[in-house]
Chain A
Amino acid sequence: MIVMTKDTMEIVREQDVVPFRNRVREFCTRIGMSLVNQTKLITAASELVRNMLKYATGGKVILEVISLNAKTGIRLTFKDEGPGIADVTLAMRDGFSTGRSLGLGLPGAKRLVNEFDLKSNPGEGTTVTVIHWKNGR
């Protein structure tokens, strides 16, 4: 896998979310991703940064344009040093939430992107990595 462009953004306040979404959109347009795929990726990203702000005290996101076997895509890595997720299987279930929300964030984000990986160590933090390819598959 080749990383072609890389950028890091700190997300510490709610106001950081809109500029972050715009940055993701810039990356998507740069590789010529279609509007539907852009919308899917940005919506997933929006869910994941919200989690970072809500359950941890924010964190950072690494944005990358990647290339693999002649496919181009965007990889986003969300890293926080929050309390971590006690039960990942439960957290990935539709409708489950410890925060009085709809419980769609994690499972919904997973459905919206091509690749989704979640690693969490209770007490140390959570890292979510998503990849969305230019053509959406």
Chain B
Amino acid sequence: MERIPILKMGPFLLVTIQIDLYDRLALTLENDLINMVSQTGARGVLIDISTVSIVDSFMGRILGNIASMSRIMDAETVVVGMQPAVAITLVELGLTLQGVYTALNVEKGMELLNTKLGDNLELDDEEEEDQDDRND
């Protein structure tokens, strides 16, 4: 069965969607991602949709689901690289992707995730964060 690969990069999971998703593939991705978050204890999920030319209400719902499920599992989701035409269409369609963080590109998305992770660590345990800084 066809699958979208999920890469682990430090505390984050990275997904690049490079083909036009049909429904079952999108559902498989949703499932795989949540399982990966659980298995790896990932703190963030980055989804690159820069080569996706069509995001319809189903695909939008999947992105929203991934974000909500990840959040419950203590991971943040950032969708990056949305094409301008896709953004215009989504808003007219009536889909605002509430609860999903977005960034212009992968770099900015990673920055956002790092900031979020930093914020959370501060809340979790200040001493631990100090140690992290020293290691950097």
Chain A residues with CB under 8 Å of chain B are 14-15, 17-18, 21-22, 35-36, 38-40, 42-43, 46-47, 50, 94, 101-102, 104-105, 107-109, 111-112
Bound complex: CA A43 to CA B52 (Å): 12
- In the complex, chain A residues whose CB is within 8 Å of the CB of B89: 36, 39-40, 43, 112
Bound complex: CA A36 to CA B95 (Å): 16
CB of B88 closer than 8 Å to a CB of A? yes
Given A18-B22, A101-B61; 18 other pairs, CB 8 A cutoff: A14-B23, A15-B22, A17-B22, A35-B85, A36-B89, A38-B85, A39-B53, A39-B83, A39-B89, A40-B92, A43-B93, A47-B56, A50-B56, A50-B58, A94-B94, A102-B60, A104-B57, A109-B93
Cross-chain pair count, CB within 8 angstroms: 68
Bound complex: CA A16 to CA B20 (Å): 12
B88, A36: Cβ atoms under 8 Å?
yes
CB of B113 closer than 8 Å to a CB of A? no
A108, B54: Cβ atoms under 8 Å?
no
Bound complex: CA A104 to CA B57 (Å): 7
B58, A111: Cβ atoms under 8 Å?
no
At the interface, is chain A mostly helix, strand, loop or mixed? helix
Bound complex: CA A47 to CA B96 (Å): 16
- What count of chain B residues pass the 8 Å CB interface test? 22
Bound complex: CA A42 to CA B22 (Å): 14
CB of B66 closer than 8 Å to a CB of A? no
- In the complex, chain A residues whose CB is within 8 Å of the CB of B134: none
Q: Kindly identify which residue among B24, B60, B83, B92 contacts A111, using a CB–CB cutoff of 8 Å.
A: B92
Q: Which 7 A-B pairs have the closest CB atoms?
A: A108-B93, A39-B85, A46-B56, A104-B57, A36-B85, A39-B89, A35-B85
CB of B55 closer than 8 Å to a CB of A? yes
- In the complex, chain A residues whose CB is within 8 Å of the CB of B83: 39
CB of B6 closer than 8 Å to a CB of A? no
- In the complex, chain A residues whose CB is within 8 Å of the CB of B95: 102, 104, 108
Minimum CB–CB distance from A113 to chain B (whole Å) comes to: 10
Q: Kindly identify which residue among B20, B86, B94 contacts A18, using a CB–CB cutoff of 8 Å.
A: B20
Q: Kindly identify which residue among B20, B85, B92 contacts A21, using a CB–CB cutoff of 8 Å.
A: B20
A46, B94: Cβ atoms under 8 Å?
no
